[in-house]
A and B are shown apart, each in its own frame.
Chain A
Amino acid sequence: MQALTAEYLSPDVSTPVGHLSLTECSKGQEVILTELRPNAAFGEHDGAVTARMKALGFLPGVQLKVIGYGLFGRDPMAVQINGTKFALRRAEAHKLLVIPL
């Protein structure tokens, strides 16, 4: 279980003051996406994951709403953006820096 927790945390990035990682947000919370940052858990695919998330509309400035969680370790999370709902694992959610509305 220890290894599973570690995979979401990317030691090489820190969260700027006033910003949260999406993983820290609670159900029902509405936030603005400010930045997509790398997550070492994706290794060499990290760039591709970022590109994919951008193509799906996860772009700075977009409004996100957390709409649900899975049972175990609140993973995955469900979010709504631009009227579309997506399921994200915490590893993906950890890439998203947000400010609460």
Chain B
Amino acid sequence: MSRYALVGNPNCGKTSLFNRLTGANAKVANYPGVTVERRSGFIQGLGTRVELIDLPGTYSLATSSLDEQVAKDMILGNIPGEPTPDLLIAVVDATNLQLGLGLVFELIALQRPMILVLNQMDAARARGLVIDTQGLAQDLGLPVITSIAVKRDGVDELLAALQPDQTVGHPSPQPLAESSIESIHSYIQTLLAKHVHQPASTPAWQNRLDSYVMHPIWGLAILMGILLVVFQAVFAWAEPFKEGIEWCVDNLKSLTQEQLPTGILRDFLSEGIIAGVGGVLVFLPQIIILFFFILVLEDSGYLARAAFLLDKPMRGIGLSGRAFIPLLSSFACAVPGIMATRTIGDPKERWISIMVAPLMTCSARLPVYTLIIAAFIPTQTVLGIFNLQGLTLFALYLAGVISGALIAWLLRKRKDGHSFPLLLELPNYRWPMPYHLWMGLRERAYIFLRRVGTIILSLTVIVWFLSTYPAAPPEANRAAIEYSFAGVIGQFIQPLFAPLGFNWQMCIALIPAMAAREIAVATLATVYAVSIETDVSSLGANLAASWSLPVALAYLAWFIYAPQCVSTIAVVRRETNSIGSTAFFVVYLFALAYGAALITYHLARQFL
């Protein structure tokens, strides 16, 4: 079987081309030992099976980012288990030839069989670019093909060129005699002058748009507006879908309980697997909506501008504009947020971003927050317009963000003191393409579901086991969970939490909450012997009767910080590839949670 590899700059439309060529069969995995995504699929519409690999986007093979190292090693066949690709497909954005051809000449120097694809020819034609592809092909010693990845028939010419009879025995191009970067670039200038008619500048509308979007004041105002819309969408639009999934999970649970005989299997399926996995699955709509916006903003070219605007403020706390996207994602769920830190070039900054990502309030905390706020915070109007309950929720979000900023700043203090460059390309604005968006969302959803199906499922089973066994004795007069391992552990650790004012019921709820924070609500319902399905408000009333206000506030403070989610810990372990970092992550967050709850409890007792 043949293997072809796509190589090109970030933003050259390589991934759209990949989606177009492989259709729906792409596979995303990691390269062994490193957290660089390996994307591969089979080319559709060729007579034979050809695997296409989408190498990480890279500007040059000379420098040493992890992505570029992987791209180079792949091309040269230096990665164990990854044979050398039979053909390199170098992709260049036709509207950005100078930058793209720089990489092409580095690839030519490797002397591998290759072809050159000038992508985004529609945009190039629209701005009046005329390219003599035959002349270019002759001077480069490579077949040169044009494509429009965003159009269905835009890759026909490329497909024809990829037919096996076209690529077999393809000669490798001859490298330039003089290989310094200066001489390569001056040769590119000669080539472009000879074969390309270029208009004087980028389209006026793009520059005009940039004068607002990148304006120091209007730009920030636009960014805040966009963020507001995104948050609104993530929390409001997802609600009906969330309810739909909850409805399905509940029905599946009751169906299992009706159809199966009473026993371990029934409990395992309904209470363990369906309830546990369902509890995490409800976040899928929020994650999809968030990624929809991130993909739209990314494909349109806006995200690089947002990173430009936020670079300086974020540098104040030791991060950079590049950390913005991962931290934004963490408001939906820290797991995709931590995975998105891969785009950060500075290893130290990436590490800090991973460490603080869970301090951005993820949606799993909302059920806990809303339950306790509704039970303890009176609905009263403050300063004429604000609702006290809403303000409390806002304060909890703010506490997370401010703590994240402080921790990042503290962690950065320990570094070697050298700057890391930003050097960020601000790509041309483009309309996001529905097909590409659809493929991107499918991929994100698949990655999330695969996690739910593997790590989260196994953790759920463990937590279910701890909360179910041993079973309550027949003469039991208290909730069954009190007799289980989780109950025993909860009561055992209660003295540790006594200084925070936590009672043993609260401690028990912390244990299954390790699978997913919102399970704490279900557990509290169990230990207070309330059926949560019928009446959430009665759980609130029960809590209000048995907890004092300082205790409730301390519990909220605990949930701001505690790394109460094993999936996050697992993903930190994978992305940092370090047990030490993972241990630090867990210990510092638990310490912070303990300290914050302790201070909250004692301050609240003094003043409330």
Contacts and interface: CB of A to CB of B under 8 A. Distances in A.
Interface of A: 7, 41-45, 48-49, 51-57, 59-60, 67-73, 75-76, 78, 80, 82-89, 91-92
A56 B188 CA distance: 13
Nearest to B214: A68
Nearest to B215: A68
A30 to B, nearest CB: 11
Interface string B58-96: 011011100000000000000000000000000000011
B99 A72 contact: no
B312 interface: yes
A7 B423 contact: no
Given A44-B418, A52-B63, A92 B214 contact: no
B207, B211, B214, most chain A CB atoms within 10 A = B214
B182 A59 contact: yes
Contact of B312 (A49, A51, A72): A72
A75 B312 contact: yes
A69 B96 contact: no
Contact of A43 (B198, B416, B424): B416
B307 interface: yes
Contacts of A43: 416-419
B202 A76 contact: no
Contact of B419 (A7, A54, A60, A70): A7
B447 interface: no
B426 A57 contact: no
B267 interface: no
Interface in B192-212: 198, 201-202, 207, 210-211
Contact of B181 (A42, A59, A72, A85): A59
B312 A70 contact: yes
B161 interface: no
B312 A87 contact: no
Contacts of A73: 312
A85 B220 CA distance: 19
Nearest to B102: A55
B63 A88 contact: no
Contacts of B420: 42, 45
B538 interface: no
A87 B60 contact: no
B365 interface: no
Interface of B: 59-60, 62-64, 95-96, 98-99, 102, 181-182, 185, 198, 201-202, 207, 210-211, 214-217, 219-220, 304, 307-309, 311-313, 321, 416-427
Nearest to A41: B419
Nearest to A61: B186
Contacts of A78: 210, 214, 308, 426
Given A51-B62, A55-B181, A84 B308 contact: no
Contact of B426 (A44, A59, A87, A91): A87
Contacts of A76: 308, 311-312, 321, 422
B170 to A, nearest CB: 27
Given A56-B99, A78-B214, A89 B419 contact: yes
Given A51-B181, A82-B98, A91-B421, 20 more contacts: A41-B418, A43-B417, A48-B63, A52-B59, A52-B423, A53-B423, A55-B102, A56-B99, A57-B102, A71-B312, A76-B422, A78-B214, A82-B99, A83-B96, A85-B202, A85-B426, A87-B308, A88-B421, A89-B419, A92-B422
A87 B309 CA distance: 10
B426 A86 contact: yes
A42 B201 CA distance: 33
17 contacts: A41-B419, A48-B63, A49-B421, A56-B423, A67-B207, A71-B216, A72-B313, A78-B210, A78-B308, A82-B99, A85-B425, A85-B427, A87-B321, A88-B421, A89-B419, A92-B421, A92-B422
B152 to A, nearest CB: 28
Contacts of B62: 51, 55
Nearest to B207: A67
A84 B12 CA distance: 12
Nearest to A56: B59
Nearest to A60: B182
Given A80-B202, A87-B426, A89-B419, A70 B309 contact: yes
Contact of A89 (B220, B422, B427): B422
Given A49-B421, A78-B426, A57 B63 contact: no
A80 to B, nearest CB: 7
Contacts of B198: 83
A91 B419 contact: yes
Contact of B201 (A69, A83, A89, A91): A83
A56 B312 CA distance: 22
Contacts of A41: 418-419
Contacts of B98: 57, 82-84
A59 B420 CA distance: 20
A74 B201 CA distance: 24
B216 A87 contact: no
A83 B64 CA distance: 25
Nearest to B206: A85
Nearest to A67: B210
B309 A86 contact: no
Contacts of B64: 48
Contact of A87 (B211, B307, B417): B307
Contacts of A84: 96, 98-99, 425
Contacts of A69: 216
A59 B321 CA distance: 25
Closest 9 CB pairs of A and B: A55-B60, A43-B418, A71-B216, A85-B426, A82-B98, A68-B214, A87-B308, A87-B424, A72-B312
A67 B421 CA distance: 19
Nearest to B216: A71
A26 to B, nearest CB: 13
B63 A85 contact: no
Contact of A86 (B216, B418, B423): B423
A44 B426 CA distance: 27
Contacts of B63: 48, 51-52, 55
Contacts of B313: 72
Nearest to A48: B63
A89 B308 contact: no
